[in-house]
Amino acid sequence: MSTLDSPERGAATLAGPAPRILVIQAPYYREVVDGMLRGAQRVFADVNATAEVVEVAGGYELPAALAMALKSPRRWDGFLLLGCVVKGETDHYTFICDAICNGVMDVSTRSAAAIGFGLLTVDTIAQAEARARDDRMNKGAEAAHAVLGQVALARRWGLAG
């Protein structure tokens, strides 16, 4: 394994019932996001987690959708955000990526919600496709591991259950 490879991760150790995860995805690059979702679903299957998937128009809408979900009377144990932004020839890429990341961080720190953040910010579609393949480099799977780890931590500290 080179230093650029992703580590092998096993299933999270979760106390309590199988987690319920809301996946909020921005499928502007449908094949890429679908590949990331497949990676996440494999991880969720390892712990019998259920995943509800909703779509938003684009990455910019991810933070607001997360905030709305947190205000919903429905309850999930964690949230997985999936999307992809490919750099173009203008500054639009930088503004969008900054807005998404800052928005998600703001919601995350204010709510203390268990969140997995799977937003690809890449220079080319080829880079995005490489991170959405059905292999150990799948960033959807990495984000799924992250949200399950956060769910486990919240349960350990009595913040969820």
User: 101: annotated binding-site residue?
Assistant: no
The yes-or-no answer on residue 92 being catalytic is yes
Catalytic residue among 48, 50, 75, 92: 92
User: 52: annotated binding-site residue?
Assistant: no
Note the residue count of the chain. Answer: 161
Whether 29 contacts 68, CB under 8 Å: no
**One-character DSSP codes across 68-101:** HHHHSSS--SEEEEEEEEE--SSTHHHHHHHHHH
User: 85: annotated binding-site residue?
Assistant: yes
How many Å apart are CA 46 and CA 63, to the nearest integer? 27
User: 28: annotated binding-site residue?
Assistant: yes
User: 61: annotated binding-site residue?
Assistant: yes
User: 89: annotated binding-site residue?
Assistant: yes
Of 92, 158, 146, the C-alpha closest to 119 is 146
Task: Return the SS3 of 19.
Answer: coil
User: 16: annotated binding-site residue?
Assistant: no
Looking at the annotation, which residues are catalytic?
Answer: 92
Query: Residues at the annotated binding site?
Result: 28, 59-61, 84-86, 89-90, 117, 131
Query: Residues at the annotated binding site for 5-amino-6-(D-ribitylamino)uracil?
Result: 28, 59-61, 84-86, 117
Query: Residues at the annotated binding site for (2S)-2-hydroxy-3-oxobutyl phosphate?
Result: 89-90, 131
